[in-house]
Amino acid sequence: MNGNKQMELSGSEILIRSLLCEGVNTIFGYPGGQIIPVFDTLYDYRSELHHVLMRHEQGAVHAAQGYARASGEVGVCLVTSGPGATNVITGVGDAMLDSTPVVVIAGQVGAAMLGTDAFQEIDVVGITQPITKWAYQIRRAEDIAWAVARAFYIARSGRPGPVVLDFTKNAQVQQAPFVYEPCRFIRSYLPVPELNERAADEAAALIDAAQRPLALVGQGVVLAHAEEELKEFLQKADIPAASTLLGLSALPSDFPLNKGFLGMHGNVAPNMKTNEADVIVAVGLRFDDRLTGNLQHYARQAKIIHLDIDPSEIGKNVPVTVPVLADAKTSLKALTQRIRENKHTEWIRSFDVYELIEQERVIRKELYPEGEALTMGEVVRRVSEATGNDALLVTDVGQNQMMAARYFRYSRSRSIVTSGGLGTMGFGIPAALGAKLAVPARTVCLFCGDGGFQMTMQELGTIMQEGIGVKMILLDNQYLGMVRQWQELFYHERYSFTAMQNPDFQAVAKAYGIAGRTVGRRDELDNAIADMLKDDRPYLLVVNVENKGNVYPMVPAGAAITDILMG
């Protein structure tokens, strides 16, 4: 296995040994007919490779995503052909939009049967090519080690993303020599652009001259391990900063220059100040519509400096004055070396008025409600505080996601795992168990709605079998809450098919041997949270929250980022 000595092995064993050479120790999967040879070989490597048997292939890929996002390593998913492969498509698309390094290995019919519409044959490469960094069909055992090395290099390098390997059955059983050579270069693929020194000079000059600078922080900071470089840059230039959804934990919540959350349900001050800033420094983000609102009214007054590793993002949505192509660690270091120490005291102080408005009109009502019904925000904040604001947050999608993002507090990086670009309901449970397996020493708190929870609650079986100590907080409002909110605000309260009749969630959890409790009163909440957190066993805390609570602030779709509803 040292890469020098040749030996004849089956294709399945070549695959397993290649994964070990890449440092893989955990795989999320589900066996089936066209991948049986690999699972048979995996039986002999159980002490080296931990295979986690999921209950659905979509769960397997989301678990691999959670593992990758929490650890910074490549997540690995192993499934069979046909429906096994098509069931992972949602997670592959999710990983592509959120720049998550995942390698999906899917079984396939033998090469001689390709194109015959054989049982469980599907064109996996054709389906996944548009939503992957690379999709490749392995037809010969001789190509396996090469393909695996290339797959991991592509998945983790540059802007990370998913890779799919379509693995024919004949290649799994054929014999071939095994020599593993890690991939470090692919001709015509340049994952990390070389920093343009002149661009860095121009950006530094703009920053030095700025009177009202604002930094927008994306996940690119986390992916580049550039958190400390970001802090040094912000402190030297004295620039206030706010984060995208995926970038939220790049800065601690209590970092003095951290002004919070950007976008549709973000904080009022940074959204308003986006359209007042004279220079915007965007670091590792893609200016998606949830961040910008109506592009015709987005930061038209600002000169924009865009730091990004992916040239395709430069100018895609927003005109850029100075592009700085490089990974965030390199570009932030370069800017910090060039800029002068500065102070923007009055500009930073001007955020206060909007913060006070939001505190009075939104936050106070959410965290300290006058009514008897519990709110999502107060539940999130109490859980966060009970963990010392040091837990890893995983969310599903919907109101629970936005409330968790807004009211959870972050003390270190890689502390939020959520589905950003695709907004995949059902992401939460499998992603949370994957994250917990990646960082077992951390407390992992999952916030779900009753809709998303039921999309993948079969993965409670995986949690049971593996004994994964995920803390699941189900915010039960008996609605598909975010759609219901839009129906209330924009569709004349015509609640078309968003009310939900739910099962006894505790009975479901009990069937899987998972402890839990249901609460609906404020005076029960702290004790229930303490019970949940007292040990590292899996736990389901169901909280009955107000039925028709809304997430505010809110920028309506198609509106300017400064057209903010506050209830």
Is residue 169 among the annotated active site residues? yes
How far apart, in whole angstroms, are the C-alpha atoms of residue 335 and residue 199?
10
Q: Are 445 and 393 in contact (CB under 8 A)?
A: yes
Query: How do 175-177 and 8-10 pair as beta strands?
Result: antiparallel
Residue keyed to tokens 């930061």: 299
Given 22, 121, 169, 351, the catalytic residue: 169
Is residue 57 among the annotated active site residues? yes
Closest by alpha carbon to 14, among 167, 186, 184? 167
Closest by alpha carbon to 506, among 530, 532, 535, 479? 532
How far apart, in whole angstroms, are the C-alpha atoms of residue 241 and residue 17?
45
Is residue 120 among the annotated active site residues? yes
How far apart, in whole angstroms, are the C-alpha atoms of residue 108 and residue 81?
5
Q: How far is CA 94 from CA 27, 420, 423, 428, 567, in A?
A: 18, 8, 8, 13, 31
Given 425, 482, 532, 554, the catalytic residue: 482
Given 57, 121, 229, 378, the catalytic residue: 57
Residue keyed to tokens 């939900």: 500
Given 113, 120, 355, 464, the catalytic residue: 120
Residue keyed to tokens 């308003």: 272
DSSP code for 359: I
Q: Are 51 and 64 in contact (CB under 8 A)?
A: no
Contacts of 105 (CB under 8 A, 6+ apart): 15, 35, 38, 76, 77, 78, 79, 165, 167
Is residue 133 among the annotated active site residues? no
Given 119, 228, 337, 490, the catalytic residue: 119
Q: ∠390-392-395 over CA atoms, to 5°?
A: 135
Closest by alpha carbon to 418, among 285, 225, 246? 246
The residues that are catalytic are 57, 119-120, 169, 482
